[in-house]
Amino acid sequence: AQSVAQPEDQVNVAEGNPLTVKCTYSVSGNPYLFWYVQYPNRGLQFLLKYITGDNLVKGSYGFEAEFNKSQTSFHLKKPSALVSDSALYFCAVRDMTTDSWGKLQFGAGTQVVVTP
Amino acid sequence: DTGVSQNPRHKITKRGQNVTFRCDPISEHNRLYWYRQTLGQGPEFLTYFQNEAQLEKSRLLSDRFSAERPKGSFSTLEIQRTEQGDSAMYLCASSRQGADIQYFGAGTRLSVL
């Protein structure tokens, strides 16, 4: 079985400061990891993914994430947050060993609030 | 590429009524997924289609739920005899076979009174 944990319900950060959103995962096989963002009344938008290769992946809007296999983590980061980054962020995992159809398991989400 | 389209955006219904939602995936995407999202939770997988074949259904999908994708293009999700616990956002996503990224629609928000 696969699972995803986002330990923080909300992250508050001042504009211009670094932003980190935490995610840990559990899968029995090899993970594919994703970050999505959701703005009010809109669907989920893809930010970035880790499949294989470099542990640091870069995505849209200046976001990046670091895959850490030993800590089973995939934290989302942005060096300098913007007010427009305020949104709901979801981490998701797909177990590539047991699931060939792409079903995603999502975390509960982390609300990011960036204050001016 | 017009994105994944879901209709209606909002649906208010009375308990016991039947409702149907529609999802139009990105053209040429042969994989289509339905998820359900309740307040304060992440999306939960409901069912998956590859072309017209429904290949997996979650235990969340009770007998009152049925999904179809008759020609491998658009899909419908029907809920019969709705209950208040069915109130949620229903999300549709599509992807190309062999691709990793799922593209989501804006969802249909269902409110059962």
Residues of B in contact with A49 (CB under 8 A): 100-101
pLDDT of residue B71: 87
A10 CB neighbours in chain B (<8 A) are none
Q: Which residues of A touch B102 (CB under 8 A)?
A: 46, 102, 104
Report pLDDT digits (tens) over B10-36.
Answer: 999 999 999 999 999 999 899 999 999
Identify the helix (H) or strand (E) that includes residue B109: strand B108-112
- State whether residue B66 is helix, strand or coil: strand
Please, what is the Cα angle at A24 between A20 and A28, to 5 degrees?
155
* CA pair distance A59, A111, nearest whole angstrom: 19
Residue A97 has what pLDDT?
Answer: 65
Q: How far apart are CA A68 and CA A77, in angstroms?
A: 14
Interface A-B: count of C-beta contacts within 8 A: 61
**Separation CA B56–CA B58 (nearest Å):** 7
For A84, phi and psi rounded to 5 degrees?
A: -70, -10
Contact (Cβ atoms closer than 8 angstroms) between residue B6 and residue B21: yes
Token pair belonging to A17: 């400061």
| B37-64: average pLDDT | 91
Of chain A, the percentage scoring pLDDT greater than 90 comes to 78
pLDDT of residue A99: 64
How many residues are there in chain A? 116
Mean pLDDT score of chain B: 93
CA distances from B52 to A49, B37, B68 (A): 28, 24, 8
